[in-house]
Structure 1
Amino acid sequence: MGCGGAPEPDALEAQAQSLAWPSGSSRTVVSRRVVSLNGVTFQAAPGFEHFRAAGAPDLALHNVRIAEVDAPAVREALVVMAAGQKISSSGHSSGVTGQASNWDASCNSVSCPNVTLDGRSLAMKLSALGLFPSGRTYLSVINDANFDHLFDSDTKQRLVNGFAGWLQAQVRPETRAIYLAGSSRGGCLMMRVAQALRANTALDGINVYVSSFDGVCRNSQGELGTFDSKVNNPVRPWGTFYGGWATNMTAQFPRRHRLHIFHVVGGQEVAPATGIRAFTAYNGTTPPSTGTNLDWGWYKQTWVKWQHKEIGNPYTDPSASEQAQAVADTVDAHLTWLGGLL
């Protein structure tokens, strides 16, 4: 904002409209459990064997549910998007995957039929825009990754290994791009999966793109290199303490060939007095007390004023008067970034 002060409302509206991408069509899909339950017996679902092979507990894997929206034989691009962590017994809506808050109402021990994906979501907008080849792009949405913030580090690593193994099994000789997107804990998961992909030299010919929406990693475990150094949000609302746990992102991705990451961060504490908040990258040897927007070529980060839930779903949580700007700063900003790279 600087010396010129805050933009006028008309300017904000124009900025929002300038980033507006058209909605896609809503889709109804089946979300399958990666491990099904037959009485008291767990078994890997067809096509999801990598999860159980990675060794995470069956009870944890039973709650992992994935909808394969498009699964063509020819796969020039792979697109995988993850919602945030499911809280308690309630579902949650997601502006990334497009699922509604009651998406899991129809779930049984094998699958969740009739899950509707909102056409305004990142997944459905991207599908309609055709930034990746139509009819030759594999698209899955992870409705529930069960990547629980409170799980121990070993369980989390086994889950990451399962997701990475499953995703790499979708790669075909013609695959040239992988796009990962996730909000909250889903954002942290997609970042960690990207680490696994970029560490695999067999995938060096594939471009990896990652979108994180206020991605949350557990600093007390050093997840994604986060630690107890909070970087304040430079555009945080007055009277708030928004900020992110610092991580040396360059150290987290020593192999950055064909890697592109965009992280939109607000840094509101997810629940009061828990210390659960998003990560933030920093440059140099010591994190700054207050952050700035970053663009290192391979890594871009933008600070926003929005609450954690507003970043995760800008269509339902901001006030009606602010929804257009919230969408512009989140879902549409990621589409603009991705479109500029493709």
Structure 2
Amino acid sequence: MVRSSGVSRRVFSWMNLALLFGAAGCGGPLEPGTEGALDAQAQALSYPSGATRTVVSRRVVYLNGSGAFQAAAGFEHFRAAGASDLVLNNIRIAEVDAPSAREALVVMSAGQKISSSGHSSGVTGQSSNWDASCDGVSCPNVTLDGRSLAMKLDSLGWFPRGRTYLSVVNDSNFDHLFDSDTKQRIVNGFSGWLQAQVRPETRSIYLAGSSRGGCLMMRLAQALRANTALDGIDIYVSSFDGVCRNSQGELGTSDSKINNPVRPFGTLYGAWATDLNAQFPRRHRLNLFHVVGGQEVAPATGIRAFSGYAGASVPSTGTNLDWGWYKQTWVKWKHKEIGNPYTDPSASEQAQAVADTIDAHLTWLDARLP
């Protein structure tokens, strides 16, 4: 795949200037004894916003006129994977661009909706009231913010316009509390649906997700990379404080916590350890990037992001990782700030939060695309 346009390597010259003039990294107050634990991080180039777009988000299973559940056209793989219709009815996906020729597939997922209201996302671009227009079949007026990862990437044109399939998952219903079997059926549904979009000319797949969406995209990447028929396709994954359930060993997570080395003083930010080398035995043409803060999503629940580690033992405090195929960067931001840096950080910190999250992923992707 050859990129048609883009900001290209300008980012690195801007990063060098930032270092020369002492621009702040993602730091924040360190816990005692962790000074110097991480390399200094430069603020990434502020990528231009894309156009705001209005899309239709469809339920993958809906109630037809006879009152019976029915698979939506193009989403039959979800029902075939065996999850219950009541679970699948809440999964809503907007196919933003669906050309017949598909050199690249791009799928992005918001985090879990945990209340009756919607869920805003700096990844997909949906607002907190995105589901206000939803009926039993679809959500016809979902607006995607131009500042989002999805719309910034769309405007950059790194994946060729008119030859890239782009979907945003507004609600994956990949509930943290579901049993392991239900979760596996949901993953299988996503995997079958996405693989059905592959064409002979497909060369790249890019997946991105925040919170539970980040865990879903990592698990989806596992399924895709395990399929040898896809070995000719590059797979890229962006995880924003991805949350997997450690009590179920989801994505190999355990009860061992790795402390965040740049956590704000007095906090307990950290992440559940997972041996990602064991989780991804096939790493050919695989590129993963995880930005992690590790704030507990809800107090006293134990729900927090994952962290990779290497070696015989789990470290008590983490470090930034770069194994070539897997990169991980620790940040000081709260869970919601990582998921949507445009709405949750204070105005004075918003630019840095965007740089450490949305733009950091674009910088990483830019360096790896051919």
TM bucket, shorter chain:
over 0.9
CA distance in structure 1 between the aligned counterparts of 2:114 and 2:271, rounded to whole angstroms = 21
> 1:303 maps to which residue?
330
CA distance in structure 2 between the aligned counterparts of 1:49 and 1:217, rounded to whole angstroms = 26
Could you tell me whether the CA contact under 8 Å between 2:43 and 2:356 is conserved in 1?
Answer: no
TM-score for both structures, normalised by structure 2: 0.89
> 1:20 maps to which residue?
46
CA distance in structure 1 between the aligned counterparts of 2:130 and 2:21, rounded to whole angstroms = 36
Question: What's the secondary structure of 2:24's corresponding residue?
Answer: helix
> 1:321 maps to which residue?
348
CA distance in structure 1 between the aligned counterparts of 2:252 and 2:297, rounded to whole angstroms = 19
1:94 aligns with 2:106: no
Could you tell me whether the CA contact under 8 Å between 1:17 and 1:324 is conserved in 2?
Answer: no
1:37 aligns with 2:63: yes
> 1:4 maps to which residue?
none
Deviation, 1:87, is 1.1
Q: Alignment RMSD, CA only?
A: 1.6
**Quick one: which amino acid aligns to residue 85 of structure 1?**
Q
Deviation, 1:40, is 3.1
CA distance in structure 2 between the aligned counterparts of 1:40 and 1:297, rounded to whole angstroms = 51
> 2:101 maps to which residue?
74
Counterpart of 1:211 (choices 217, 235, 238) is: 238
Could you tell me whether the CA contact under 8 Å between 1:16 and 1:325 is conserved in 2?
Answer: no
Counterpart of 1:183 (choices 210, 227, 244) is: 210
Deviation, 1:12, is 2.2
CA distance in structure 1 between the aligned counterparts of 2:23 and 2:149, rounded to whole angstroms = 24
Q: Which runs of 4+ in 1 moved over 4 A?
A: 7-10, 13-18
CA distance in structure 2 between the aligned counterparts of 1:250 and 1:122, rounded to whole angstroms = 27
Deviation, 1:56, is 0.3
Counterpart of 1:225 (choices 248, 252, 261) is: 252
CA distance in structure 2 between the aligned counterparts of 1:254 and 1:11, rounded to whole angstroms = 39
TM-score for both structures, normalised by structure 1: 0.96
Task: Write the mapping of 1:1-342 to structure 2, written as runs, cut at 5 A.
Answer: 11-12=23-24, 18-38=44-64, 40-342=67-369
Deviation, 1:13, is 8.4
**Quick one: which amino acid aligns to residue 62 of structure 1?**
N
Question: What's the secondary structure of 2:121's corresponding residue?
Answer: coil
Could you tell me whether the CA contact under 8 Å between 2:44 and 2:359 is conserved in 1?
Answer: no
In structure 2, runs of 5+ residues without a counterpart are: 1-18, 27-40
CA deviations 1:160-216 (Å, max 9, x no partner) are: 000000000000000000000000000000000000000000000000000000000
> 2:5 maps to which residue?
none
> 2:16 maps to which residue?
none
Deviation, 1:10, is 6.3
Question: What's the secondary structure of 1:116's corresponding residue?
Answer: strand
Judging changes above 3 Å, is the alpha-carbon distance between structure 1 residues 221 and 9 closer, same or farther for their aligned structure 2 residues?
Answer: farther
**Quick one: which amino acid aligns to residue 23 of structure 2?**
A
CA distance in structure 1 between the aligned counterparts of 2:70 and 2:312, rounded to whole angstroms = 47
> 2:36 maps to which residue?
none
CA deviations 1:244-271 (Å, max 9, x no partner) are: 0000000000000000000000000000
In structure 1, runs of 5+ residues without a counterpart are: 1-6
CA deviations 1:17-54 (Å, max 9, x no partner) are: 64210000000000000001125310000000000000
Could you tell me whether the CA contact under 8 Å between 2:44 and 2:360 is conserved in 1?
Answer: no
Judging changes above 3 Å, is the alpha-carbon distance between structure 1 residues 8 and 276 closer, same or farther for their aligned structure 2 residues?
Answer: farther
